[in-house]
Structure 1
Amino acid sequence: MIVYRFLGLEIPAAIAMAADTGFFLGFVALGCIIRGQTSHYDIVSNESARGLMYLSIEKKLAIGNGIITVENTEQAWDRARASRKNKGGGAALAAIKMHSIKALYS
């Protein structure tokens, strides 16, 4: 497992670059976008989701999307904690399932 950290919209681009190496079987995108007082929240959340969906459909990459969008840190912890909603774990399972489907039909 390799982990990269980014501050904004770079996750889909980083996955696209890493996918070009042919080294990875799948990807798990994790992040937390907390609504602020500007439109930046909408841009980052919409474009991140769009970019990941494009890579999944057009490039046929196995990607689990664990980028959560929340109103505050309390919601973030509720959705992220493994003992609660565990969105990261769900994203990892989604990536594994997507790779299984890809392997089955390739």
Structure 2
Amino acid sequence: MSGKGAPELTVQNSGDLRVAVIAAQWHEKVMGGLVDGALRALGDLGIDEPTLLRVPGSFELPVAAKVLASRGYDAVVALGVVIRGGTPHFDYVCQGVTQGLAQVSVDTGVPIGFGVLTCDTEEQALDRAGLPGSNEDKGHEAVTAAVATANVLRSVSEPWR
């Protein structure tokens, strides 16, 4: 299982954070599980009014994340799934999405929760989607990581000048 060794995150005092979730539309069943897990995590953290946006596919996640990060959100969560096919398309999309989301986070200082599944098969994606019978809930995990990071960042005081 890929989640082996993951830290147990305790996240508190998050109800006042502005959090947005961006979700791709490809692979409806997998995405339904990821979105449900993300929204459940936000509710568990006391974030009652998150923004939820849908974009066509995973490749569109970075540009949406950049816009939301520049509009005052404390954390953005990107959810998508790319399943390997018979062409190099998988490699290009996965690399572009991963680098794009990382660049948005570094450029803006806004944590981006990475909930993009990059799987060889649909079965692997379903196993990570937080559905009944899934072994992992990557939508929930992506929210928890982004919000935990937002809390760490807001705890850092400005340096003396």
TM-score normalised per structure 2: 0.61
- Please name the residue that 1:17 is paired with: 67
Gaps of 5+ in 2: 1-49
Say yes or no: does 1:84 pair with 2:120. Answer: no
RMSD between aligned residues: 1.4
Higher helix proportion: 1
SS in 2 for 1:95: helix
Name the CA distance, whole Å, in 2 between partners of 1:20 and 1:55. Answer: 9
Identity percentage over the alignment? 35
Range that drifts further, 46-55 or 78-87: 78-87
Aligned residues: 105
TM-score normalised per structure 1: 0.90
- Please name the residue that 1:45 is paired with: 94
- Closer, same or farther: CA 8–28 of 1 in aligned 2, 3 Å: closer
Gaps of 5+ in 1: none
Name the CA distance, whole Å, in 2 between partners of 1:53 and 1:19. Answer: 12
Deviations 1:15-66 (A, max 9, x none): 11122222x1111111110001111111111111101111222321111101
Name the larger-Rg structure.
2
The one-letter code matched in structure 2 to 1:41 is: F
Q: How does 1:1-106 map to 2 (within 5 A)?
A: 1-6=50-55, 7-22=57-72, 24-81=73-130, 83-106=134-157
Name the CA distance, whole Å, in 2 between partners of 1:8 and 1:63. Answer: 14
Structure 1's consecutive aligned runs of 4 or more residues displaced over 3 angstroms after TM superposition are none
